[in-house]
Structure formats: structure tokens, C-alpha cells
Amino acid sequence: MPLPPRGSELRIKIGGAAGLGIKAAGQTLARSFVAAGLEVFDLSEYPSLIRGGHNTYTLRVSPRPISSHVEAVDVLIALDRETVDVHLDEVVDGGAVIFDPEVTSTEGWLPSPRIRPVPVPLAKFAKEAGGPIMANTVALGAALGLVHFPLMFLVDSLREQFAHKKPEIAEQNAAAASVGYGYITKLAGDFWMAVEPLPGQPKRLLVDGNEAVGLGALAAGIGFYAAYPMTPASSILHFMAAHEREAGVVVKHTEDEIAAMNMVVGAAFTGTRAMCASAGGGFALMVEAFGMAGVSESAVVVGVLTRPGPATGLPTWTEQSDLRYVIHASQGEFPRVVLAPGDRSDAFELTWKAFNLADQLQTPVIILGDSYLSDNRQSVPMFDLDAVTIDRGKLVAEGDVADHPEALAEDGSYLRYKVTDDGVSLRVLPGVKGAQQLGNSYEHDEYGYGQRGEAAEVRAAQNEKRMRKLELARTLVPAPATFGVDPAEADVAVLFFGTTKGPVLEAMRWLEPDGVNVAAMQVVTVWPFPADEVRAFLGAAERSIIVEGNITGQLRGLVREQCLVDVDDELHRYDGRPFSPEMIYAKLTEVAHDA
Amino acid sequence: MPKVADIQRALEPTWCPGCGNYNMQKALLEVLEESGMDFEDYAMVWGIGCHGNGADFYRAQGFHGLHGRALPLATGIALTNPDLKVIVNMGDGDGYGIGGNHFIHSVRRNIDMVAIYHNNQIYGLTTGQASPTSDQFMQTPSTPGGVVEEPVNPVGVAVAQGATFVARGFAGDVEHLKSLYRQALDHHGFSLVDVYQPCVTWNKVNTFKWFRDRVYKLEELDGYDPTNRTMAFEKSMSTFHELTCAPDECKIPIGVFYREAESFTYQDGLPQLDRPMWKHAEAPRDISKILEAY
């Protein structure tokens, strides 16, 4: 398999029991490499518990842009024996395993013709440095020593990590790292792999998807965020709460997701840019109020960060199986927009855009992500803050409603739900003189009152008015993104949505030297579905495939339904793990050769 | 300032003749007029049920929300616009049954708002099923053998949960109800007013007469101290009654059970809520400093 040339990038995996600080250690390492000008992509895999159980953190480091994790591992840091048992096969030939012989027995896997064992007395060194908890820090130092990477970056990163704790904690960790580093450089100076800093790189960000969503919401002027904790969405709540006072956001951890969604509709009623987020299970509780946002034409943004279901499912793993669910959720019919970011840069941009779309359309907008987006960090170019705009649509926030005769009835009353050509009515906020109005979960007349909403002609007119906004949405939403060659020149055309983007783009890079031409299309706005663009893309391609992380082919079903065409092949994953580029590379190679 | 006739919308009422909701609306309209608040100074929120049809009978800034979810909807309004006084109307099934979780948490949050419960001890709009406040052993279409559960004690729950203003009214005494509404509007914090509001169509037991024979006013009770939480809790227990109890054996207190003169509200804990929160979206927020940490 023509993976990136041997030695051109580094893949480190740290494994051990939950509670050993594996993710924190890994992120410290990630920051070190980014500070040194390198690109990183990390992947945390962990069961739903706080202590015990097997956790891993995988870090891919490269001097060139990368867009996903990979399966291959060059250096495995085994903090326990289970890590060896589960992950030894992932280590490339000639790869190293750093382990503590006092903790991890060598029985059954050493000696090995393929593996370079690197025994380090991690526990002993950690204890000497200040405490056994620092075994992972010793191992990080050892790993850097192994690949001849300057220790300074890790020490700086450790100091940053422990900046809010007592100064001796940072210094003990720095000492632990340097003991591990020194021990290895003395012993293992001949390891074949070396990673070098790349000075002079522009500032990049190291963010996970939830941070990118939170940053996008802040940039967009969010004033209210409500949520109930649920993996993988919880860290958006933490992010918003951490910034609530300095940024000026009211953040509420609610009694349940039902309250969160209802509060967000109330906040939108006062004109506040408001958002809530959860996983699919929490969104299930939000759905009734989500529908209320639709019928009451409330501008709200809802994050749905999915994980494998149904019910509690696999809380800490990933899947793309809620596509149909978010498109259809709620009884009745109303327009909605569903945006599916493929990576962290997308997540920032689509989140601030979601607030504009919600205001322009006066209807709910969903940001559909998943654990692969939420949990994992990636180095990305600095977000383009100058591109952020605020468009609040037809909104009057101050003054007197009498100055807006186009929104008034003959008797001068304000018509919140006036029937218009594009379906959007002038939204005059409560507090504006004369803007008495009734937001309503019932069908209603132009004033908002429910009693006359039952009249057949009123119901039909309001229903049609709302649905006209979906046509307006088509002119406003982000178009599909295309990558690679033109579909007419492609050996294979790939259609996907959401976070499959990373491994697809990665696999495409690997296919280039093989001479396989790939065209790819990311359905960025999954609703309203971009039927014309998808039909044209698939129609131009000789051979096409859909790659999606679910068992039933939800995107494929949408393509059939919306475009009246089909694809030639499909690749699914539904075991809770994200697609790897290796998996997609193998499948696209097979499809291209069959063509 | 708006008069009753300005705030009331002239629509064909959808409440049954004699329904307790008429008196509740009359009391609220008159207190709103008296309060001197302009239309722009308050927002009203309704849940779903017979009471909620009242949403159509007001000219107000308001929202007719979902069944059971009026409190969080109102909370979203209250926590994003400090200029609005929020008044919430709910029913007993609506507010104590399906919305019971929000009831508990809104009380302990002490959100500065007025919560009025139209308590008719029955599901009126869905044709007469037992509600969470129906008396034990009451026979209804959903409980033909009689209600087995104890009724919810909203006053007791609120007092136990740290409420800062708890009152009970009776729709048969408009002047008394108005005094409760006035005090609730004046209170800084979560003001709960539970109002016995007899359903003339579906509840043939707890009628206006039934209540008139039994209610008495706490403020007329010698030695009652509405700032004493323990006393309030004890009194809340006596609001329970049995279907067969005789008027002189079964007295029901109305009035202010409990109040705190000084209370720390949820809004008081939000220094960032110093303006309507929509003002944060007048221009993109500068996040460049925050980005330095990434």
C-alpha cells in the first residue's frame, strides 16, 4: 500500500487504562508539534467511563497538510499490557514500542522480528520526578528522544498545560519528560525515524470540532446557549460557559434537553442569537420544541453531534447514522437547514453562517457533526475572522412598529406572520413600540393568534408561506464542495457528507501517485438537498461511489429520492469507528480497477 | 397606560360559561392596568390547556408554547431581556404533570418571573381525565376505579424546594386573587401563584360552591407568619382534601403561604445580563484574543 513514504511522517499511539491522563498527555504532545510548525491530527478512543477500561490517543504528525488520522502506528507507547495485546498489529515493520518492563511483561510478543522494543523504567522515573502519575510524561519524553525531536517544545507545552496549577507541578513534569528523553537518546540514537521542526510557519490553530463550533458561535454574536451534558456535545457547553462573562453570553446547563430547546426558542423571541446542542439522544428530547421553532418561525441554531445509536448506543464512538433523523425530525412539515461540516475549519465557518441563515430564514438551522469532529483536534490555518459577517435578515430591534407599514394590518396592528412572497415576514422584536405579537406553537393567523389558525384557508396560507422559505434557503445555503479532478475525467467519483471528508481527501492524496483520478463532492448543506449539483456530478462520472458512516445508506437513499439517480457502489462503516484513509484507499482502488 | 379594554382582545371566548378562567383573566387584566406597565414592559407565556386558549384573549407580547414547557420558554425570555417582566400561565396537568421537572427547577433557580397555575384538578381540554392535582379516589375517564395516587402538593413542593414567594388563590374571589397577583408582580424572584379554578364541565366535585364552603384566608389567621418556611410547609399539608370530607372538617387556606423580602434571583447571578442579549449580535464579536489560546 503506497502510504506516505516511510519516515515522512510520525504516527504515535498512547494506550492505557482510563484515568492515566492519556488524552491530556497526547494533547500536550500535539501542542508541542504544532508549536514547532508541524501539522497534526489526533484521535481519542475511549469507552464511556471515568476510570479503567482501555483508552488510546493517536497522534499523526506531518510536515505537510493532513486531513485525518491513519491506522498505521510508528511508535506505540504502551502504558499497560493490554495496549500491546490490542495494538501491536498496527505498528509498522520496524516501528517501536515504548513500555515499562516492570508493568508490561514481554511474554508472548518479544522478541519480535518486526518490532523495536524500547523498555523504559517509566514508573521508576516518574516516582523519582515527583509521582507515579507522571509515567505518561516520561513516556512522551522518551518518544521524542526516539525520533530526535528537540525536547524544548514539549517542555514549553507542559508548562502551558500546568500553568493554572502550582509551579512545581509543571517543573516536575518537565523533569519527568527530560529524564525519559535523556534515557532514550543515550540508548537509542540509531532509530531510523527523525522528526524535525519547521520554523517560520504561519500561526495555526489546534482545535477540535466543538471548539470550532463554539468559536463560530461566539464570532456570530451568540447571546444565549443552553444544553444538558451528553457526549460528544458536552464540551461545547464547557467552552461557552468558560467564556460567558468575558464574551457576554448567558449559558444555562438545563434540567434536560427539553428545557434547553424551549429556552432557546424563548431567547430567540427576544431577538437573541441562541443555540443549543446535544447528541442524537438529547436531540430526541428537543424535537417537539424544535418543531415549535419551525411553526413559530424562530431563528435558532441547534448542534446535533451524533454518536452510534439507537438509544444510549455507543456514547464515545462515532457514526453518521442520524442524517435522515435530523432532516425529518418533528411532526408536521416546515423548512429547516442542515449543515454538515467536514472538518474544524468547516465547523467554524458553517456555525457563524448558520446564525445568519437562521435569521434570514427565521427558521431552525442544524449543524450536524459527530464524535469524530467533536472529540479530535486538528491543526488548521488561522480562522478567517475578516470573513465573518452578521446578517440578521428582516429584523427590527428598536423604534416604533408604526414606521414599518408593510408589516401592519389595516387597523395598525403588527402582523408577525404576514404572508409574503418569499415567505419571510418582518420580525419586530418585543420591546419595540407597538409590536404586540404572539409567538405560537399552534397554527396561527398573521397576527399569531391560534383561534383563526384553524380556518382552512389560514392554515393553508401559513403552511405555504413557511415552505416558501425552503426555496429561499436554496439561494442562500453553502453549495456542495468539490475536490480532485473534474468528474468527467475521473476514474471514480466519490460522494460523501460530514467528517468522511478527512479520510476521503487523505485517500485521494495517496491515489494520486497510483495514477488514479478521483473526483469528490462533499454535500455541505444536506438540507435542502442540493439535487441539481449532485445529479450533475454523478451524471458526469463514469463510475461513482458513496462513502457514509451508517448501515442503511441514508445519503444514497436521499440521492435516489431527490435526484432520481443512483451510484454504482457504496462503502459503509457502522462499527463505531471513523473511516480510515486506508479503508477508503483500498475501496477506491478496487472500484477504479473494476471500471 | 393601557387599560383593561386595551389589553383584552375582543374574541369569541372559547372557555365554557362559568369557567374559572374568566375570573382569573379579569383579575390579571385589572392588575396589569393598575401596575402602570406599558405593553412593551412585559411578556406573557402560556402552556397548553384550557388556560392556554387565553393567549388569544390578550393583546400582549407573548408566546403560546408547548404543553408543559411554558417555564423554560419563559426562562429563555427572562434570561435574555432584563427589560421584560415575564408572566407565565400554566395549567395543573401542564405545569405539575408533564412540566413537573421544569416546575421544580424553576423554583430552585428563583428566576425573576411570575408563574400562575390555573389549577382545576382535571384535564379540561382533553375531556376530563384525572390530573396530578385531582383528589385521591376521584373517578374520571382515565381512572374509572378512582385515582390511586396522592395529589401533587405544589405549595408544599415549592416551599420545600426553596421558593421565595408562594401563594394560593381561588378564582371565586377576584379581589383576593388580585392582591396575590399584585404581590407576585412586586416580588423580586420566582413568584408562584397556584389558583383553584373550578372546571364547571368536567369536575363535578370541586365546584365553586365546594371551595366557597372550605376556603379561608391565611392573612386572617391569627399568628400566621408568611416569612416562616416551616409554618408555610405545615399549612401546605392542610391543602390536601378528600372527596368526601365535610366543609368544617376540611378547610383550605388561600393567601400568601411564604415570601422572602430579599431574594437572590438567577438573574442577579448573571452580571453579563446587563442589556438585551440581541445587542451582542450587532457586529461580529472579536474573538482574536480567545484564539490566542489555541
| C-alpha span between B31 and B28 (Å, rounded) | 5
Distances (CA, A) of A582 to A71, A92, A333, B281: 7, 14, 41, 44
Residue A338, φ and ψ in degrees, nearest 5 = -125, 120
Q: Which helix (H) or strand (E) holds A458?
A: helix A456-476
- For the record, the C-alpha cell of A546 comes out as 458513496
- Beta-carbon contacts of residue A157 (< 8 Å; ≥ 6 apart): A28, A29, A31, A32, A35
Overall average pLDDT of the A119-129 stretch: 96
Task: Decide if A272 and B73 are in contact by the 8 Å CB cutoff.
Answer: no
- Beta-carbon contacts of residue B41 (< 8 Å; ≥ 6 apart): B83, B84, B85
DSSP letter at A246? H
DSSP bridge partners of B49: none
| Site from B51, B67, B73 to mutate, A interface, most A CB atoms within 10 angstroms | B73
* Residue in this structure with the C-alpha cell 510524561, named with its chain if needed: A137
Instruction: Give chain A's domains with CATH numbers.
Output: 10-187 (3.40.920.10), 206-387 (3.40.50.970), 395-476 (no CATH), 481-594 (3.40.50.920)
pLDDT of residue B286: 97
Query: Count of alpha carbons within 13 Å of B167, Cβ hemisphere only?
Result: 26
Give the closest-approach CA distance of B128 to chain A in angstroms.
Answer: 22
Q: Which helix (H) or strand (E) holds B191?
A: strand B190-196
- Which of B56, B73, B277 lies at the smallest CB-CB distance from A223? B277
Query: Which chain B residue is nearest to residue A445, measuring alpha carbons?
Result: B56
pLDDT of residue A475: 98
| C-alpha span between B55 and A168 (Å, rounded) | 63
Q: Are strands A518-523 and A481-484 parallel, antiparallel or unpaired?
A: antiparallel
Query: Which chain A residue is nearest to residue B7, measuring alpha carbons?
Result: A436
Residue A572, φ and ψ in degrees, nearest 5 = -120, 155
Is residue A6 predicted with pLDDT exceeding 90? no
Residue A2 banded pLDDT, cuts 50, 70, 90? very low
- Which of B14, B55, B74 lies at the smallest CB-CB distance from A266? B74
Q: Which helix (H) or strand (E) holds A503?
A: helix A501-511
Give the closest-approach CA distance of B69 to chain A in angstroms.
Answer: 7
DSSP letter at A309? -
- End-to-end CA distance of chain B: give it in Å, rounded: 53
Residue A12, φ and ψ in degrees, nearest 5 = -110, 135
Instruction: Name residues 92-121 of chain A within 8 A of B (Cβ).
Output: none
Strand order in the sheet with A481-484: A481-484, A518-523, A492-497, A544-548, A569-572
Instruction: Give chain B's domains with CATH numbers.
Output: 4-291 (3.40.50.970)
| C-alpha span between A55 and A49 (Å, rounded) | 10
Instruction: Name residues 256-285 of chain A within 8 A of B (Cβ).
Output: 256, 258-260, 262-274
pLDDT of residue B116: 98
| Site from B14, B44, B57, B80 to mutate, A interface, most A CB atoms within 10 angstroms | B80
* A–B interface: beta-carbon pairs under 8 A: 216
B293 touches chain A (CB under 8 A): no
B175 touches chain A (CB under 8 A): no
> Is B195:B234 a contact under the CB 8 Å cutoff?
no
pLDDT of residue A595: 62
Q: Which helix (H) or strand (E) holds A55?
A: strand A54-62
Task: Decide if A450 and B53 are in contact by the 8 Å CB cutoff.
Answer: yes
Is residue A3 predicted with pLDDT exceeding 70? no
Give the closest-approach CA distance of A535 to chain B in angstroms.
Answer: 36
Task: Decide if A437 and B62 are in contact by the 8 Å CB cutoff.
Answer: yes
* Category of A330 on φ-ψ map: left (φ > 0), alpha (ψ -120 to 50) or beta: left
- Beta-carbon contacts of residue A521 (< 8 Å; ≥ 6 apart): A480, A481, A482, A483, A487, A493, A494, A495, A496, A533, A534, A537
Is residue A340 predicted with pLDDT exceeding 80? yes
- Which of A244, A288, A431 lies at the smallest CB-CB distance from B40? A431
- Beta-carbon contacts of residue B281 (< 8 Å; ≥ 6 apart): A220, A221, A222, A223, A272, A273, A355, A390, A392
DSSP bridge partners of A77: A14, A98
| C-alpha span between B278 and A271 (Å, rounded) | 5
Give tens-digit pLDDT for A7-36: 579 999 999 998 888 999 999 999 999 999
Q: What angle do CA B226, B227, B231 make, to 5 degrees?
A: 65
Task: Decide if B60 and A436 are in contact by the 8 Å CB cutoff.
Answer: yes
Task: Decide if A243 and B290 are in contact by the 8 Å CB cutoff.
Answer: yes
B136 touches chain A (CB under 8 A): no
Give the closest-approach CA distance of A441 to chain B in angstroms.
Answer: 5
Residue A140, φ and ψ in degrees, nearest 5 = -60, -45
* Category of A506 on φ-ψ map: left (φ > 0), alpha (ψ -120 to 50) or beta: alpha
- For the record, the C-alpha cell of B11 comes out as 374574541
> Is B160:B234 a contact under the CB 8 Å cutoff?
no
- Which of A220, A265, A440 lies at the smallest CB-CB distance from B76? A265
Task: Report the mean per-residue pLDDT for chain A.
Answer: 95
Using a 10 angstrom Cβ sphere, with 0-12 exposed, 13-18 middle and 19 or more buried, the burial of residue B33 is middle
Nearest to B40 by CA among B281, B273, B276, B279: B276
A35 touches chain B (CB under 8 A): no
- Which of A206, A249, A440 lies at the smallest CB-CB distance from B272? A249
Q: Identify all chain B residues contacting A245, using CB atoms and an 8 Å cutoff.
A: 271-272
Overall average pLDDT of the A431-456 stretch: 96
Q: Identify all chain A residues contacting B271, using CB atoms and an 8 Å cutoff.
A: 245
- For the record, the C-alpha cell of A162 comes out as 500546568
Distances (CA, A) of A89 to A44, A104, A234, A291: 18, 17, 33, 49
Nearest to A466 by CA among A430, A531, A413, A416: A416
| C-alpha span between A380 and A342 (Å, rounded) | 13
Q: Identify all chain B residues contacting A273, using CB atoms and an 8 Å cutoff.
A: 277-278, 280-281
Instruction: Name residues 96-115 of chain B within 8 A of A (Cβ).
Output: 101-102, 104-105
Q: Identify all chain B residues contacting A431, using CB atoms and an 8 Å cutoff.
A: 40, 61, 81, 83-84, 276
> Is B44:B61 a contact under the CB 8 Å cutoff?
yes
| Site from B41, B64, B88 to mutate, A interface, most A CB atoms within 10 angstroms | B64
Residue A349 banded pLDDT, cuts 50, 70, 90? very high
3-class DSSP assignment, residue A194: coil
Radius of gyration over every alpha carbon of chain B, rounded to an integer in angstroms = 20
Segments of chain B with pLDDT less than 50: none
pLDDT of residue A188: 58
Task: Decide if B64 and A249 are in contact by the 8 Å CB cutoff.
Answer: no
- For the record, the C-alpha cell of A132 comes out as 507515579
B277 touches chain A (CB under 8 A): yes
A435 touches chain B (CB under 8 A): yes
B53 touches chain A (CB under 8 A): yes
C-alpha dihedral sign at B115, B116, B119, B125: negative
Is residue A5 predicted with pLDDT exceeding 70? no
3-class DSSP assignment, residue A316: coil
Q: Identify all chain A residues contacting B281, using CB atoms and an 8 Å cutoff.
A: 220-223, 272-273, 355, 390, 392
Is residue A278 predicted with pLDDT exceeding 90? yes
DSSP E strand boundaries for A189-298:
204-208, 224-227, 250-253, 274-278
pLDDT of residue A53: 86
Regarding an ipTM greater than 0.90, the answer is yes
pLDDT of residue B260: 96
Distances (CA, A) of B214 to A506, B170, B172: 78, 11, 12
> Is A277:A233 a contact under the CB 8 Å cutoff?
yes
Task: Decide if B76 and A440 are in contact by the 8 Å CB cutoff.
Answer: no
Give the closest-approach CA distance of A254 to chain B in angstroms.
Answer: 9
Task: Decide if B280 and A270 are in contact by the 8 Å CB cutoff.
Answer: no
- For the record, the C-alpha cell of A403 comes out as 414606521
Q: What angle do CA B224, B230, B233 make, to 5 degrees?
A: 85
A312 touches chain B (CB under 8 A): no
Give tens-digit pLDDT for B36-52: 999 999 999 999 999 99
Give the closest-approach CA distance of B42 to chain A in angstroms.
Answer: 8
Strand order in the sheet with A274-278: A250-253, A224-227, A274-278, A300-306, A365-370, A337-339, A525-527
* Residue in this structure with the C-alpha cell 456570530, named with its chain if needed: A220
Instruction: Name residues 195-224 of chain B within 8 A of A (Cβ).
Output: none
